[in-house]
A and B are shown apart, each in its own frame.
Chain A
Amino acid sequence: MLKFIARRTATLVAAVLLSSFAVFLIPYVTPGDPVRKIIRSRVAGDVVDESVVQSLGQSLGLQDALFVQYLRWLGSFFSGDMGLSYVSRTPVVEQVMPALGVTVSLVTVALGAAVLASLPLGTAAALRQGRRTDRWITAVTQSFIAMPEYWLAPMLVLLFALKLAVLPSAGWNDASSVVLPAATLALRPASYFTAAVRSGMIDALSAEHVFAARARGLGRTRTVLDHVIPNGLLPLATLLAVWFAGLLGGSVIVEVIFAVPGMGRLLYDAVVNSDIPLAQGGVVVVVALAVGITTLADFVHRLLSPKAGAALV
């Protein structure tokens, strides 16, 4: 277990370092003078004079080796100084953190809804495996996978915001504004979750150790509560973490369509406006969180399911 934790933590650190290094290089690999771009992310006013650029570059250490610059950048980054946004001219960190909060609430609601939908659906399908109920549930939820969010979203807007006028079509104001984006976002995970619950429950129900528990005198209900449900829901737990991590940066489309001021929207704006510091901040935060959550999920999975975990190393 210790070796496993060490390995996974090393992977986590490597992932964050690699991706942050790639992000750090953006000013150098995109067209234009890197020194001016970096100065622009550090100094609020516009600098035009070449000599001022020179001296500022000197004082920011831009003549140092790339690696040294990277370490300095990383250091200031993790102490909360992510530079200034090109567009708003305000510190990036002040934009990233609220956006992260918005995305986390959106994703939590969406995945919560997906879990709430998939538990009864997946269980019902598993209990009636191969019969009509199972076939319908499986067919319908599987078709969700093929549903593009940028199609579903306008359709939902058309129906609920424009025709019925019961929900706002965009924005992020009160509780009602979370409904449509969360519903759109929940559809695909709900499909995967239902499949996971279904197959997890089928495996758990038919597992021979369940029969053995009955043969030792454990009652039917207790067997289901003690052995079937915990084992059957394990795959869902892992999947949930993976989706949570993925949606932190993966809700771009939904946030853009519904004008939700979250991480996806922030990254999209940064790319469209070539706002390098904003993009750097957003990406590093999203990747660090995503990798952190998946690593944590691996630990938990390993704790809950030692045998599967042993095969993972």
Chain B
Amino acid sequence: MCNVRTRITADRAALAVLAVVVLAVAAAPWIAPYAPEAQDLARRLAPPGPEHWLGTDHLGRDLLSRLLDGGRFSMLMAVAATVLTAVLGTAVGVASARRRGWLDEFLTRSNDVLLALPEMVVALFIVAAMGTGFGPLLIALTVTGWTPFARLARTLAYDVSARGFVEAARVVGCPPSFIVFRHILPHLAAPMLGQATLRFGQLLISVGALSYLGLGVQPPQSDWGSMLAAAQPYAERAPMGIIAPGLAIFLVALCVTLIGQHATAAARTKQEAVAHA
């Protein structure tokens, strides 16, 4: 029982941190102490202090303001990629499980192939071929990103399809669309959501990685990954420049992952309880 309580406390803490970060990033234009682009060349690489809470970067820009501003791109990108891959993967997985036969075979095998491709290499190439920007980046993350969702959705849809109530619905004459939308998708919702939160953390890190390599967001816009890259040459003089954006990514990814893991575990326990009833 103690375990459950710690779990809930951890969940609440994670939710609280996440809420603060999301709200702060969303409200950046109003709450940021400086404009993210405002340079103060006299105060370059300033340490944290009362005027600049987190200090300044190599162009004298306020780190806190840039952190709040940069979070928008990172998080929006990660959310968009998560939603897109989740929807695509679920659709493919359910189609695979329902139609079976050659379609299933083809989709499963393509899934295998894509799974064997290193995600980062594929993303590098797509960005190199299509250029940088929101669209290409989204495609780069989606091409390999849908596969875990498709795998999970296929397995779950197979399992649900074999349950008696799906058979029962067929016997009383319910059409396939009814079975998919009323029986199968509702059963997939919770585990897919759990998977989505787990993937969100990974995608947030991947977005940062591409930006870090200079293939993601382009100047003058910035995000957490590009801030990290820009601050690296000055790491020794102003460590806050790399600590802050990295910590932001780590914290958000960690909180979402924690919530996702616990939600998945809870959904599984509930399912088991139903199965054993």
Contact = CB atoms under 8 A, between A and B. Distances in A.
Asked whether the complex places CB atoms of A and B closer than 8 A, the reply is yes
Given A151-B242, A162-B236, A253-B209, A283 B125 contact: yes
A142 B261 contact: yes
A284 to B, nearest CB: 11
Given A145-B253, A291-B113, 17 more contacts: A14-B109, A15-B112, A18-B113, A145-B201, A146-B257, A149-B209, A150-B228, A150-B229, A154-B235, A246-B119, A253-B212, A253-B213, A264-B120, A271-B124, A279-B125, A287-B116, A290-B118
B122 to A, nearest CB: 9
Contact of A148 (B112, B115, B235, B249): B249
Given A15-B116, A146-B257, A158-B236, A250 B121 contact: yes
Interface of A: 11, 14-15, 18-19, 26, 29-30, 130, 135, 139, 142-143, 145-152, 154-155, 157-158, 162, 245-250, 252-253, 256, 264, 267-268, 271-272, 274, 279, 283, 286-287, 290-291, 294
Contacts of B109: 11, 14
A19 B124 contact: no
Contacts of A247: 118
Chain B contact-residue range equals 35 or more
A146 B261 CA distance: 12
B3 A150 contact: no
Contact of B205 (A15, A146, A279, A294): A146
B255 to A, nearest CB: 8
Given A148-B205, A157-B235, A252 B124 contact: yes
A143 B14 CA distance: 12
B128 A271 contact: yes
Given A151-B228, A155-B246, A250-B121, A15 B113 contact: yes
B225 interface: yes
Contacts, number: 123
A274 B228 CA distance: 25
30 contacts: A11-B112, A11-B113, A19-B113, A29-B129, A135-B6, A142-B257, A146-B205, A148-B249, A150-B209, A150-B212, A150-B229, A151-B228, A151-B246, A155-B246, A158-B235, A158-B242, A162-B235, A245-B116, A246-B118, A246-B119, A248-B118, A249-B117, A249-B118, A253-B120, A253-B213, A267-B121, A271-B127, A271-B215, A287-B116, A290-B116
Contact of B232 (A143, A154, A271, A291): A154
Nearest to B225: A150
Contacts of A287: 116-118
B27 interface: no
Nearest to A149: B209
A268 B124 contact: yes
3 tightest Cβ-Cβ pairs between the two chains A and B: A151-B246, A249-B118, A146-B253
A279 B120 CA distance: 13
A146 B3 contact: no
A271 B125 contact: yes
